[in-house]
Chain A
Amino acid sequence: MNCQEFERTVFDLARETLSDATQRAHGLAHAEACESCAARLASERSLTVGLRSLATSMRETEAPQRVETALLSAFRERDKVIQFRPIASPLHRAGLGQWRWAASLAAGLALLFVALAAIRLQQPPPAQPPSVATARDSKPLKLASWPSLEDEKEPAVLTPARGQQPAFQRVSNRTRNSLSVINRGGGTIEKMPLAGTAANTAADDIATDFIPLTYGADLSSLDSGHVVRVELPRTAMARFGLPVNAERAAEPVKADVLLGDDGLAQAIRFIR
C-alpha cells in the first residue's frame, strides 16, 4: 500500500469500519513504515475520539415534552377527521349501498348540465316568477299507476313493454306543472305541483314520467320541487331503461331534472 491508497482508507481505519481485514492490515503496516501517514492516522483517531465524545455527551438529549404533546394533539385531530369523513357523506349516513354512488354521479352530472345550460341560455325570466309551491298550497292530484299513458290520448312515440319501461307521453297543460313519478319499486305514483322554468314552458312536449335518480327514493315525500330543462347525451336514456335509436345516439336529448329543496337532483324525465 502506498500513501495515496492509505489516504483513501485512513478514516475507515481510524473509525474501525474497514471490513476488509487484509486491507486493514496493509494500512496499519504502511502507517508503521511511513511517519507522515502514521501522524495522519493519529489525527484521524484523535478526531474520532472527539466525535464519539460529542456523541456520548448528547446521547440523552431529546426533544422537549411539549413537542410530543403538540404532536399527539395533531394526531387526534387527524383521527377525528378520518372518523368523521364518512359520516359527513349523506349517502353513507343513509346507509346506502355502493351501487347508489352511480346514481349519485348521474345526479351530479345532471346538475352540471343544469348549470351549463343556465349559463349558456341566459333565458329571460318567465312572465310569472317561479316560486316553490308546497303540497299545502294545492290539492294532491290523482294517483296513477306506472307507466301512466292513460292521461293522454295522443299515442306515445316510443312504446316499450308496458310495466317494464317508462314511456313517452305528451305533456299537457294539466300535467306539465305537476310531478308524475315512476316508482321503480312498482308502487303508486304521486303527483304534485312544481315550479321552475321547464315546468312552466313547453306545453306540447312529449315526455316520460319522472324517473327517480336514486333507486328506491320516495319522491312522494317531496313537498315541493324545481324543474330545470337540460340537454343530455342521448345515451343517458339507456341508463334509465329507455330505448335509444342507435342512428341518433350522438344527438342530445332534452330532459327535465327535478330538484328538491336542498338543490339535489331527485328525478329526471326525458323530452322528445
Chain B
Amino acid sequence: MTVNTTPSDDQLLRLLKAGDEDAFTTLYRRRQGGIYRFALQMSGSETVAEDVTQEVFMVLIREADHYDAGRGSLQAYLYGIARNQVLRRLERDRPFVQIADEAEETDIPTAERFVAQDDPLGNLLHSEMIDSVRGAILALPAHYREVVVLCDLHEMSYVEAAAALSCAVGTVRSRLHRARALLIEKLRTEKGKRKEPEADSGLLRTARCFA
C-alpha cells in the first residue's frame, strides 16, 4: 500500500502563512500554469497574463487569511482573483471587438437560430482550427468567455466554475449553453468569409488567363 504524501493546497497554504517558502514555491508551481493560461485565454495578451498571474499570487502572499475553505477550493479562489484582475484589465484596455449577444436583442428561440447548417470547423487544418477557436473565444463577451475557458478549456465542473465566478451553477450552465452557440455561429461566419476570398481569387485567376 502506498501512502500519498503530496500535500494538499490547504496544507501548503497553512505552511505558507507560517512563512514556509518551500510551501509557497510548491503551491505556486502547482497552480501558476492554470492561472496563467486562464488569463491568457481570457485576454489574448501574454503581458496581461503575466501581470495577472503575479498579482494573483501577490494577493495570496498578502491576504492568505481571506481565503475561506468553506466557500470553495483554493484553486477556485485563485481563479476568482484572476478573473477579477482580468476583467479589470479588459475594462481598462478594451482591446477586443465583442460579438453582439443577439439572443438578448431578438425574440427568436435559440434552437431555431443555431440550427446547424454544416460543420463549423470542417475542412480546417489543425492549426487553423486552433487559431479560429482562439479568435472566436476572444470575441465573446467576457461573461460568456469565462465560462467557456473554465468549463471547456480548463475542464472545471460546473460547481467549481460557479465557485470561481461567484455565481449559481445554473448560471454557469445557461451561460455555457449560450456561449457555445455563439461560438458555433462565429466559427461558421469565419468559415464563410474564408470561402469567399478563395472563390474571388479563382475568378481573378481565370480572368488573367483569358487576358
Contacts and interface: CB of A to CB of B under 8 A. Distances in A.
A15 to B, nearest CB: 7
Contacts of B153: 51, 54-55, 58
A79 B37 CA distance: 29
B155 interface: yes
Given A49-B121, A61-B33, A67-B50, A44 B180 contact: yes
Contact of B115 (A39, A49, A51, A53): A39
Interface string B23-37: 011001100110111
Interface string B110-121: 110011111111
Interface in A53-104: 53-55, 57-58, 61-64, 67-68, 70-72, 74-76, 78-79, 82-83
Interface in B38-81: 40-41, 49-50, 53-54, 57-58, 61-62
Interface residues of A, number: 40
Contact of A71 (B28, B36, B115, B122): B28
B134 interface: yes
Interface of B: 19, 21, 24-25, 28-29, 32-33, 35-37, 40-41, 49-50, 53-54, 57-58, 61-62, 110-111, 114-122, 126, 129-130, 132-134, 137, 148, 152-155, 176-177, 180, 183-184, 187
Contacts of A62: 32-33, 36-37
A73 to B, nearest CB: 11
Given A47-B180, A48-B152, A71 B61 contact: yes
Contacts of A75: 21, 24, 61
Contact of A15 (B110, B111, B118, B152): B152
A155 to B, nearest CB: 60
A61 B126 contact: no
Interface centre among B29, B62, B115, B183 (most CB of A within 10 A): B115
Given A67-B50, A82-B19, A11 B176 contact: yes
A46 B120 contact: yes
Contacts of B41: 58
Contact of A46 (B25, B35, B37, B121): B121
Given A15-B152, A47-B180, A53-B130, A72 B116 contact: no
A139 B68 CA distance: 65
Given A48-B152, A53-B126, A43 B120 contact: yes
A8 interface: yes
B184 A43 contact: yes
Contacts of B40: 58, 61
A68 B28 contact: yes
A176 to B, nearest CB: 53
Given A44-B184, A58-B40, A71-B54, A51 B148 contact: yes
A157 interface: no
B54 A67 contact: yes
Contacts of A57: 130
B37 A61 contact: yes
B154 A55 contact: yes
A51 B36 contact: no
B91 to A, nearest CB: 22
B62 A78 contact: yes
A63 B48 CA distance: 11
B29 to A, nearest CB: 8
A241 interface: no
Interface string A30-50: 000000100110111011111
A7 interface: yes
A71 B57 contact: yes
Contacts of A22: none
A3 interface: yes
A123 interface: no
